[in-house]
Amino acid sequence: MFQIHLRQSHYALAIAFCSLSFSQLISAQTLQDNQWHGGIAIGGSYASSNNVAQTFNLSANGTKATMEDKLGLYSVINYGSNTVNKVKTNTAQLLRIGGRYDYNMSANSFFFGGSELETNKIQNIDSRYSFNTGAGFKLIKTEDTSFDLFTGLGYSNTRFGTTIPPSPSSKKGVEFLLGEESTHKLSNTSSVKQRLAIYPGSSDIGTRGTFDVSLATVVANGWTLNASAAVSYTSKPSNNFKRTNSLVTFGFGYKY
């Protein structure tokens, strides 16, 4: 298991990941049985010689759905450090948790409300909270593929760690939400999920966006091999930080 952290990527990332095991079925459809379903993925690395480098990443998600509504929760942890001559430097320090509630207006449309909390010390984000509400449309809904479009209106408040004038110590304001997400069943054991969200904001906070893609392959009794990529963008970073951040991870997990 290992992790690649790329800070200056300006392009979408592609992932290839293969497995030759067959143990249980994977479906693109969300089960509407009022039970929690989801997965947990863990990855990391440790290297020690003259220097010590270590990384750890964890992602988890869960969904509980009925014919009328759906509740989804997710979390991401990414930590990395490098010690040289007994001086330790953090190279990654991200925590993000969030959720969304959907209420079905019909078989193909829904209202939603969501919120997210984040801290990313390496990007000078001491804390960020946001919430939004809107409506979506289920464009594709088959056994192998689900594809949703959604749009809404929200609010975000970001507080920065260290600021150098004239950079502000915080930014807050109204932002729009435009997005899409999908799940694709690649085989009886493999599925891929992706989500793109763009947040055009007021002139003070600028525009930000996120793109996430993950691939899971079941190897035995719910245990999975995982690969994922995440790209985040902000048009007005603090202290002239890079606008784009990228993260690629590989590891193992459990699907329930």
User: What pLDDT score was predicted for residue 40?
Assistant: 93
* % of the chain exceeding 70 in pLDDT: 89
Provide mean pLDDT across the span 5-28: 38
What DSSP line would sit under 141-195, residue for residue?
E-SSEEEEEEEEEEEEEEEESS--TTS-SEEEEEEEEEEEEEEEE-SSSEEEEEE
Q: How confident is the model at residue 123 (pLDDT cuts 50, 70, 90)?
A: confident
User: What pLDDT score was predicted for residue 16?
Assistant: 33
First to last CA, the chain: 22
Chain centroid to CA 151? 18
- Whether the link from the prior residue into 237 is cis, omega within 30° of 0, is no
pLDDT at residue 1 is higher than 90: no
User: What pLDDT score was predicted for residue 91?
Assistant: 87
| Nearest to 18, CA basis, from 151, 216, 209 | 216
Give pLDDT tens digits for 151-160: 999 999 999 9
User: What pLDDT score was predicted for residue 12?
Assistant: 35
User: What pLDDT score was predicted for residue 29?
Assistant: 67
Residue, of 8 and 220, whose pLDDT is higher: 220
Strand 170-185 with 190-200, pairing: antiparallel
pLDDT at residue 218 is higher than 70: yes
Residue, of 82 and 7, whose pLDDT is higher: 82
pLDDT at residue 229 is higher than 70: yes
Cβ atoms of 43 and 230 within 8 Å: the answer is: no
pLDDT at residue 171 is higher than 60: yes
pTM over 0.85: no
> Which residues sit opposite 4 in a β-bridge?
248
Burial tier of 41 (Cβ tally within 10 Å: 0-12, 13-18, 19+): buried
CATH code of the domain occupying 3-255: 2.40.160.40
- The residue extents of the domains of the chain are 3-255
User: What pLDDT score was predicted for residue 28?
Assistant: 63
User: What pLDDT score was predicted for residue 5?
Assistant: 42
User: What pLDDT score was predicted for residue 155?
Assistant: 95
Provide mean pLDDT across the span 170-189: 94
User: What pLDDT score was predicted for residue 22?
Assistant: 32
Q: How confident is the model at residue 50 (pLDDT cuts 50, 70, 90)?
A: confident
DSSP state letter for 30: P
pLDDT at residue 226 is higher than 70: yes
User: What pLDDT score was predicted for residue 203?
Assistant: 78
